[in-house]
């Protein structure tokens, strides 16, 4: 849903009434994943998608009825469903869509504030009553339901769970993944553009004042730190939601970052440089006492191989590898 939040803000600012349809469960080759949303206004305007076009018309019809009655509906579309057959769910899968009036003003303000402040929360919907509650990562689980919600949120899942015979949908809105960029250079500027496009919080670290402040950023990083990596990396949770990209091409900077990153829990470590450059890096890291297993965590030469030549192409190869690690590995 995060991709359509700007349009939702516009609708709310214009006092436009609308319903929201959310994919809560899929089976086999459904084209959209749980958490995907479609907003439908009273005039029939559609924002977002729940199926890539397969069942949108049927969902709009149901959403208009929800706006008329105020009653939520859980609709199932699939090859065995006549409605879905008519609108052509050609992928051969099934999708369950929960359609309700949009959030109450208080709930919307909580979500919008959470996203703006990059804090994270989950919205838990009772699919029988359509009642919604909020889970904060600071909440202490009090029963099996809240414990399961906490587990789903920790895994960044949007998922259907059951508790005492009732189905609940956990819609997670976690903080942005962090991308640590060690070194400010031309490739850094191109990568920041792509990182923001894919919803990463960007943190550039470079002790060289000339590089840090005179690099021409088309899109400013979220944080620019003119410090040595060892001075500031300890201020961050180097966890599974952190992706580190080493770009300075200066061993005095890169190695100090790697000394802190390799023993950490960061999800990804990539380092710029040729095979020859990386071989020298490996020897230095071995001399520092790092094991072969730790050193093997480094993706080097960095990026998916696409024969990249320009800074833009190198940035594309890097973000491709980062997204692959985030989604697949």
Q: What is the pLDDT of residue 50?
A: 86
* DSSP letter (8 states) at residue 103: P
Q: What pTM was estimated for this model as a whole?
A: 0.79
Query: Where among 101, 120, 145 does a domain terminate?
Result: 101
Shared domain for 188 and 292, answered yes or no, is yes
Q: Which positions ≥6 away from 142 have C-beta within 8 Å?
A: none
Phi-psi region of 57 (alpha: psi -120 to 50; beta: other; left: phi over 0): alpha
Contact 150, 199 (CB under 8 A): no
Helix residue spans in 198-303 (DSSP H): 209-214, 229-232, 251-261, 275-288, 292-295
Residue 84 pLDDT more than 50?
no
Residue 88 pLDDT more than 60?
no
Query: Where among 70, 85, 101 does a domain terminate?
Result: 101
Total number of domains constituting the chain? 3
Shared domain for 194 and 305, answered yes or no, is yes
Q: CA dihedral in degrees (209, 236, 181, 305; nearest 10)?
A: 160
Shared domain for 166 and 181, answered yes or no, is no
Rounded Cα gap, residues 279 and 29, in angstroms: 43
Paired residues of 320 in beta bridges: none
Shared domain for 181 and 320, answered yes or no, is yes
Shared domain for 188 and 312, answered yes or no, is yes
* Mean per-residue pLDDT over the chain, rounded: 91
Query: Where among 173, 196, 227 does a domain terminate?
Result: 173
Shared domain for 156 and 265, answered yes or no, is no
Shared domain for 197 and 265, answered yes or no, is yes
What is the residue range of 56's domain?
2-101
- pLDDT tier at 29, thresholds 50, 70, 90: low
Shared domain for 257 and 308, answered yes or no, is yes
Question: Looking at residue 262, which CATH number applies to its domain?
Answer: 3.40.50.720
Rounded Cα gap, residues 199 and 6, in angstroms: 14
Which residue in this structure is represented by tokens 């250079």? 185
Shared domain for 25 and 166, answered yes or no, is no
More confident residue, 149 or 27: 149
Shared domain for 310 and 256, answered yes or no, is yes
Which element (helix H / strand E) includes 144? helix 144-154
Shared domain for 198 and 308, answered yes or no, is yes
Shared domain for 227 and 320, answered yes or no, is yes
């Amino acid at each position: 849903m995060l991709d359509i939040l700007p349009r939702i803000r516009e609708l709310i600012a214009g006092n436009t009434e609308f319903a929201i349809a959310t994919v809560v469960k899929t089976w086999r080759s459904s084209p959209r994943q749980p958490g995907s949303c479609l907003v439908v206004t009273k005039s029939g305007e559609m924002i977002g998608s729940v199926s890539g076009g397969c069942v949108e018309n049927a969902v709009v019809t149901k959403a208009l009825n929800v706006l008329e009655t105020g009653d939520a509906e859980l609709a199932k579309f699939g090859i065995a469903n006549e409605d879905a057959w008519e609108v052509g769910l050609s992928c051969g899968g099934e999708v369950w869509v929960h359609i309700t009036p949009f959030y109450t003003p208080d709930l919307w303000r909580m979500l919008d504030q959470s996203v703006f402040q990059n804090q994270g929360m989950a919205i838990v919907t009772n699919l029988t009553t359509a009642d919604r509650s909020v889970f904060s990562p600071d909440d202490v689980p009090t029963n099996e339901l809240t414990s399961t919600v906490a587990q789903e949120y920790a895994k960044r899942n949007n998922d259907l769970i059951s508790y005492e015979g009732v189905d609940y949908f956990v819609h997670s809105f976690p903080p942005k993944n962090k991308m640590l960029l060690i070194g400010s250079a031309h490739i850094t500027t191109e990568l920041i553009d792509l990182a923001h496009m894919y919803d990463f919080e960007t943190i550039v670290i470079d002790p060289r004042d000339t590089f840090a402040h005179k690099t021409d950023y088309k899109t400013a990083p979220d944080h620019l730190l003119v410090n040595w990596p060892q001075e500031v990396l300890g201020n961050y949770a180097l966890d599974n939601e952190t992706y580190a990209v080493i770009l300075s091409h200066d061993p005095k900077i890169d190695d100090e970052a790697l000394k802190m990153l390799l023993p950490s829990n960061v999800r990804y470590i990539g380092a710029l440089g040729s095979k020859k450059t990386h071989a020298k890096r490996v020897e230095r890291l071995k001399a520092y006492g790092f094991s072969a297993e730790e050193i093997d965590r480094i993706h080097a030469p960095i990026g998916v191989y696409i024969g990249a030549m320009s800074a833009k192409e190198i940035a594309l190869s890097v973000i491709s590898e980062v997204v692959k690690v985030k989604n697949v590995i």
